[in-house]
């Protein structure tokens, strides 16, 4: 996944007050096959055609961690619907990408940890 950004601050007193991030879903399986493809059976593709791969999940999770570091002064330590909004198209791979990105940005800490074995919290 490529990172691209543009800095437009001009003076020492300038500060970032808003960030709008657009990204495409993580790596996915093929969407469809061709007629004589020996791997055209969906059983060759965990999750099925078009599904987000484990590598894609990791890729987007790492992007979330990067955004947490990059915008540490902008994003609060705890999830707040007043400060953070995420939107996705209605495909499993894009919905999962949005969820995994949010997990990377907002790992639970302190009282947010509801399961010691799961470093994740639900973000709508």
pLDDT by residue, tens only, the chain of 124 residues: 555 666 666 667 788 889 999 999 999 988 888 888 888 877 878 898 889 999 999 999 999 999 999 999 999 888 989 999 999 999 999 999 999 999 999 999 999 999 999 989 999 8
Whether residue 106 lies inside any domain: the answer is yes
Domain range enclosing 60: 21-124
Number of structural domains, the chain?
1
Identify the residue whose tokens are 């995420």.
86
Whether residue 11 lies inside any domain: the answer is no
Whether residue 31 lies inside any domain: the answer is yes
Helix, strand, coil proportions of the chain in percent (round to 5)?
Answer: 30, 0, 70
Whether residue 97 lies inside any domain: the answer is yes
Neighbouring residues of 49: CB distance < 8 A, sequence distance ≥ 6:
29, 30, 31, 32, 33, 42
Whether residue 80 lies inside any domain: the answer is yes
């Amino acid at each position: 996944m490529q990172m691209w950004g543009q800095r437009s601050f001009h003076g020492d007193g300038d500060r970032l007050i808003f960030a709008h991030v657009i990204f495409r879903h993580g790596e996915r399986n093929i969407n469809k096959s061709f007629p004589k493809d020996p791997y055209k059976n969906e059983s060759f593709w965990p999750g099925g055609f078009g599904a987000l791969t484990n590598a894609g999940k990791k890729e987007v999770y790492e992007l979330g961690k990067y955004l947490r570091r990059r915008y540490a002064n902008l994003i609060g330590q705890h999830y707040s619907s007043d400060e953070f909004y995420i939107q996705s198209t209605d495909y499993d791979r894009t919905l999962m990408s949005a969820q995994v990105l949010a997990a990377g940005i907002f790992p639970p800490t302190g009282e947010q940890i509801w399961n010691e074995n799961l470093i994740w919290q639900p973000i709508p």
